[in-house]
Amino acid sequence: MYSIDYLYWNFIGNLLDRDFELVQAPASFGEAWLEARGSAPYDLVRVFRKDIDFRQDLVRDLESLYERAERLRAASGQRKLSILNVYLSQEAPVDEWEDVVGHPVADKRISIVPVFIDHASAEEGLRKLAVALNMEPDELTGQMQDAGYENVEEKRAEVLAAAKAREEERRREAAVFEKGKPMFTWIFAVLQVFMFLLLEMSGGSQNTETLVRFGAKENSLLLAGEWWRLVTPIVLHIGLVHLMFNTFALLSVGAAAERVFGSFRFLVIYISAGIFGSIGSFLFSPYPSAGASGAIFGCLGALLYLAFSNRKAFLKTIGTNIIVIIILNLGLGFTISNVDNAGHIGGLIGGLLTALAVGIPGKKRPLQRLAGWVLIFVIGGGALYFGTHSAPVQENAMLHQAAKWYEEGEYEKVKDALKEAGSKPDASSDTLRLLAYSEIRLGEYENAEKRFEAVVEKDPSDHASLYSLAWLYTQRGELAKAEQSIERALAEKPDEEMYKKLRDEIKKESAR
């Protein structure tokens, strides 16, 4: 006699087990609304337990449901709302009713798919319901069974207890984001705007000299002991677009991280991640850099730490969004030039490790936190030690500084900086070329010639060096060698007019 009532509660319990959320708790028999999660085909499932005697009762209910759905859609701001509407009735209406539930009620904004189940056709109705929810048919056909009033009350209490437990769990998950207010997030946002204005008034935020003067990461100066440059780039930005993008990212991602970890932990994470970002840039990029991107990626890394400490809360709250943001931004970094992805990855790692070290408020995990601090000092300190003792990093820093001197006409400084490195058997082609160009400017043609010959020996296809050699041979009157060298340069780049012009001059000189 109570089989349909039992089915009502049993079906609600089944949906709760499948990670649906009860958004309107039923205090008694009647009506329940459940919100779909994950890849469910409907936004909402409405379960309506009422003995329906006439066709018109169904029509009126669907009309009322449509109006309620439209108000709900408008209030939630959704473009479209889809509802699976399940009627549970002891008996079917006495008149013709099948056409009312035979097709969806739908327009561009609202879609309502009705499924009618009565005692006589319960198995068939449950199969339709299973198909509508992308379940196997036999997953629901066992829901219908004979039951007495006590069975119904027992099932009702069980389902409401499960719903209450889910609600408490949802509150705990939401509480993860209420540990702190985004105080330091706003402080850093205001600070970086202030520093941007100061840069603009002092020579321009896109002026390399101004950026370096105010604390941008510059490898040669780091190697000279200016370690504070690992921190100061966090508040400096290169151009208005860079500032706007990072400020928006800070106010969204940074605020979320500060709410999760609290203000003090956030401050530690943000600065530590910024330092790790600067270390990553120091190791893999010889160019000056600035920006909060490394620290912001650190906030993403800290939020990603939730996946390890509380995977369920992470996936139910911000997990998918965070992973998408990380993949998208790293992908853009690898495809767009002038983006310091090494700094981004360094910040991401630093934020993840620092989150492990400071921990989530309210969770005492001393061994994990100790491991986090050990990893920070081992990885961060090890990376710095490697960078300061790495020949490629030192050479790249020296080359970058020497290139600036060359542009400024300081050829003696270039020569003094690169002479020792250029005299080594394993000297790089970049070092040899820049040193040779400086020696040409200083009139030291013989030394420059040796440098370019060494470059061509390393890379016979280096047409620019072959051209320079041809010019040097010409200056010394070695026209045969000059002609041979310029022909090799033209073989590599036959359309270069400058090369053709020198070849013609050499041939003209040889014909005299």
The predicted-structure confidence for 121-179, as pLDDT tens digits, reads as follows 888 888 888 888 887 767 666 666 677 888 878 888 888 888 788 777 766 655 655 66
Tell me, yes or no, whether 43 and 132 share the same domain: yes
Separation CA 121–CA 499 (nearest Å): 90
Is residue 292 classed as helix, strand or coil in its secondary structure?
Answer: coil
Asked if residues 5 and 146 have their Cβ atoms less than 8 Å apart, the reply is no
Separation CA 337–CA 60 (nearest Å): 62
- The pLDDT tens digits of the residues spanning 434-471 come to 888 998 898 888 888 888 888 888 888 999 999 898 89
Active site residue 64: no
Domain count, the chain: 3
In our burial notation (b when 16+ CB lie closer than 10 A, e otherwise), range 356-365 reads: bbbbbeeeee
Catalytic residue among 220, 278, 289, 293: 293
Tell me, yes or no, whether 139 and 220 share the same domain: no
Tell me, yes or no, whether 230 and 376 share the same domain: yes
Tell me, yes or no, whether 162 and 199 share the same domain: no
Residues of the chain where predicted confidence (pLDDT) is lower than 70 = 1, 24-29, 37-39, 137, 139-145, 170-180, 309-339, 512
DSSP element (H, E) containing 12: helix 3-17
pLDDT at res. 217: 92
Tell me, yes or no, whether 51 and 70 share the same domain: yes
**Residue where a domain terminates, one of 176, 200, 223:** 176
Domain membership of residue 49 as a residue range? 2-176
Tell me, yes or no, whether 425 and 373 share the same domain: no
Tell me, yes or no, whether 340 and 191 share the same domain: yes
Asked if residues 8 and 26 have their Cβ atoms less than 8 Å apart, the reply is no
Separation CA 115–CA 104 (nearest Å): 9
Tell me, yes or no, whether 425 and 358 share the same domain: no
Catalytic residue among 220, 344, 463, 465: 344
Tell me, yes or no, whether 384 and 465 share the same domain: no
- The pLDDT tens digits of the residues spanning 299-354 come to 988 888 877 765 555 555 554 555 555 555 555 555 545 667 888 899 999 999 99
Residue type, 287: Y
Active site residue 344: yes
Tell me, yes or no, whether 274 and 216 share the same domain: yes
Q: Where does residue 74 fall: left (phi above 0), alpha (psi -120 to 50 degrees), or beta otherwise?
A: alpha
Question: Could you tell me the CATH number of the domain that includes residue 260?
Answer: 1.20.1540.10
Tell me, yes or no, whether 380 and 397 share the same domain: no
**Residue where a domain terminates, one of 176, 200, 221:** 176
From the CB of residue 510, how many other CB atoms can be counted at a distance below 10 Å? Answer: 11
